[in-house]
């Protein structure tokens, strides 16, 4: 097999993983909207959020496997299991691995939620806010396509979408806060 094909596949799978992860993060942040219609009950949004998270892990595995078997990088499996062990682009690959480990922790606690309880699950789920920017930094730092216009546009779109979603969520929280306080006062009276 032509070595370059593996390299191209690594880059393609990396981009798709980032896009899927961004969609998963957006769905998680905007879950506060509690969107539902007659044809789309609310439980479908959380189920789709879970399915897409698992799908993003699948494409992440494709990204990693194609990178490891590419003879040019000669990463070896140790480098993709232990962060900052790689002699090749140690910092950027390490950031990607930390992001992967955080995502695996999130997926594991979500699948085993009944054993951990909601508090630990929620605490671990907050790690998403670290995993996503680490993945983005990994791509920007080590990606071969970072300097090209299409990748700049994709990165910018991902950042803008997540920033807007966070702003929207914070705004909706602040908007709810006075009504909550008012409700608490009424209850206390």
- Neighbouring C-alpha atoms within 13 Å toward the C-beta of 43: 0
State which of residues 32, 111, 127, 148 lies at the interface with another protein (CB under 8 A): 148
User: Residue 147, SS3?
Assistant: coil
Chain positions 69 to 98 lying near another protein, rule: CB under 8 A, are 70, 72-73, 89
Centroid of chain to Cα 62 = 16
Q: 40 vs 77, which CB is nearer to another protein?
A: 40
Residue 49 binds another protein (CB under 8 A): no
Chain positions 1 to 30 lying near another protein, rule: CB under 8 A, are 3-4, 7-16, 19-20
15, 152 Cβ separation under 8 angstroms: no
Instruction: With contacts defined by CB under 8 A, name the span among 66-74, 105-113, 117-125, 178-186 that binds another protein.
Output: 66-74
123, 159 Cβ separation under 8 angstroms: no
Kindly compute the dihedral angle of the four CA atoms of residues 52, 54, 59, 65, in this order, to the nearest 10 degrees: 170
Binding mask 93-132 for another protein (x = CB under 8 A): ----------------------------------------
């Amino acid at each position: 097999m032509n070595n370059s094909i593996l390299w191209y596949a690594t880059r393609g799978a990396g981009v798709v993983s980032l896009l899927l992860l961004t969609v998963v993060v957006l769905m998680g942040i905007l879950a506060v909207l509690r969107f539902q219609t007659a044809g789309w009950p609310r439980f479908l949004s959380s189920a789709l959020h879970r399915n897409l998270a698992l799908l993003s892990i699948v494409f992440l595995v494709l990204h990693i496997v194609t990178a490891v078997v590419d003879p040019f990088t000669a990463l070896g499996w140790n480098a993709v299991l232990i962060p900052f062990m790689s002699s090749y682009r140690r910092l950027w690959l390490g950031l990607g691995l930390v992001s992967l480990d955080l995502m695996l922790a999130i997926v594991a606690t979500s699948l085993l939620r009944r054993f951990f309880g909601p508090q630990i699950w929620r605490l671990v789920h907050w790690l998403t806010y670290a995993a996503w920017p680490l993945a983005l930094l990994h791509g920007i730092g080590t990606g071969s396509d970072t300097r090209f216009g299409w990748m700049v546009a994709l990165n910018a779109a991902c950042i803008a979408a997540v920033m807007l979603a966070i702003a929207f969520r914070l705004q909706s929280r602040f908007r709810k806060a006075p009504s909550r306080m008012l409700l608490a006062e009424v209850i206390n009276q």
